[in-house]
Structure 1
Amino acid sequence: MAFALDKVREISERVAQSNGLVLWDLEMKGSGASRTLRIFIDKPEGISHEDCSTYSREVATIFDVEDAVPGGAYVLEISSPGLDRKLFKPEHFEQFTGSLVKFSTRDLVNGNRHFEGRLVSFSDGQLTVDLDQATSRKKAKTQGTGVIVVSFSNVEKASLVPEF
């Protein structure tokens, strides 16, 4: 059974804010009895197991009371977005300026669609990325070098590249 996630998102956001957390993302996967609702939460100092546990209890109770997830049984998973988190909102790119990112574009940029490099800046809907700082030699060879500017609207998907 398909349903709009608007109510789930609103409740998830409200519970996150009341706990000093940020709702990073949510997704519903699967169908029927094998549905899984994944909610990703974050905070500046990082998420603890206790944060996830507390959030899970509170949000699950509200979902049940408000019948926010119709269609019977589902599995609720709460976690951090992870070190390789997806970036999909302008504020995500602003927050992670200076970090290594990998992304793909809808349209070709300098003959390529897949890139990795350091996010130098994000302003006025434009990502500036230094390709010379790619961690993969193969990637650096295929994507070119230098600095590119890509419109946020051209970014199909993006994520952080963990640095150790």
Structure 2
Amino acid sequence: MSTTQSDRLRGLLEPLVSAEDLDLEEIEVSRAGRRRVLRIVVDSDEGVELDACAELSRAVSELLDQNDAMGDEEYVLEVTSPGAERPLTELRHYVRATGRLARLHLHDGGELVARILKADDEGIDAEIPGVKGRKPTARRIAFSEIAKARVEIEFNRKDKDIKNDVDNEEEA
């Protein structure tokens, strides 16, 4: 997608997405056979539910029907939320990932898997899990040190177990 079309679509769609209390994360136009696919990725601090995507999809469709931002060629519209292993590229992504494990690729060539404890304008406070019975260690990592970061999927998250233990105690 050309930068001009991307900028035009972003300018057109951002107010609509913001009005729904969502963040416009990504706009992508690609080919799928003879048709184009317009994929709009949205997110929020609370996550995005399927109903919100469907509602936004209808509103975006109406808006695009009223102007020529996509031209005359056929296209398929997809409104979605970011995947579970989405890249962390903005401060808000790190804030939303607080409490989660992330794989961090550093500019110096190193790689860490760490739990994000806190994020601010300069970087993150992280807890690096201990290995072979050792205690976890705290580390401050500046954003300038991070080349790439991605949330790691955890099937047995600690904080979920703790919440379940608290809920079970309250029921007893």
Using the size of structure 1 for normalisation, the TM-score is 0.72
1:88 equivalent to 2:89? Answer yes
Cα 1:126–1:63 change in 2 (3 A) is same
CA distance in 2, matches of 1:59, 1:23: 12
Quick one: distance in 1 between partners of 2:32 and 2:3? 11
- Aligned twin of 1:142: none
In 2, the alpha carbon distance for the partners of 1:45 and 1:95 equals: 8
Question: In the aligned structure 1, how far is the partner of 2:11 from the partner of 2:87?
Answer: 20
Pairing partner for 2:152 from 138, 157, 161: 161
Amino acid at match of 1:11: L
With over 3 angstroms needed to count, the CA separation of the structure-2 counterparts of 1:80 and 1:124, relative to structure 1, is: closer
Residues 5-20 of structure 1: matches in 2 within 5 Å? 5-20=6-21
Q: C-alpha distance in 2, partners of 1:133/1:19?
A: 42
Note the 1:21-36 alignment, pairs <5 A. 21-30=22-31, 33-36=34-37
Structure 1 residues 56-65 or 66-75, which shifts more?
A: 66-75
| Larger RCO of the pair (alpha carbons < 8 Å, separation 6+) | 1
Larger radius of gyration: 2
One-letter code aligned to 1:67: D
The farther-off stretch of 150-159 and 86-95 is 150-159
The aligned length equals 151
Q: Which residue of 1 aligns with 2:48?
A: 47
The change in CA–CA distance for 1:45 and 1:127 in structure 2 (over 3 A counts) is: closer
Structure 2: how far apart are the matches of 1:73 and 1:127? Answer: 44
Q: CA deviation at 1:78?
A: 1.0
Against the structure 1 CA distance between its residues 154 and 32, is the aligned structure 2 distance closer, same or farther, given a 3 Å change threshold? farther
Q: Deviations over 1:25-46 (max 9, x none)?
A: 3333348845322212234444
Q: Secondary structure at the residue paired with 1:35?
A: strand
RMSD value, Cα: 3.0
Q: Give the % identical residues.
A: 29
Runs of at least 5 residues in structure 1 that lack an aligned partner in the other structure: 138-144
| Deviates most, 93-102 or 42-51 | 42-51
Which residue of 1 is the match for residue 123 of structure 2?
A: 126
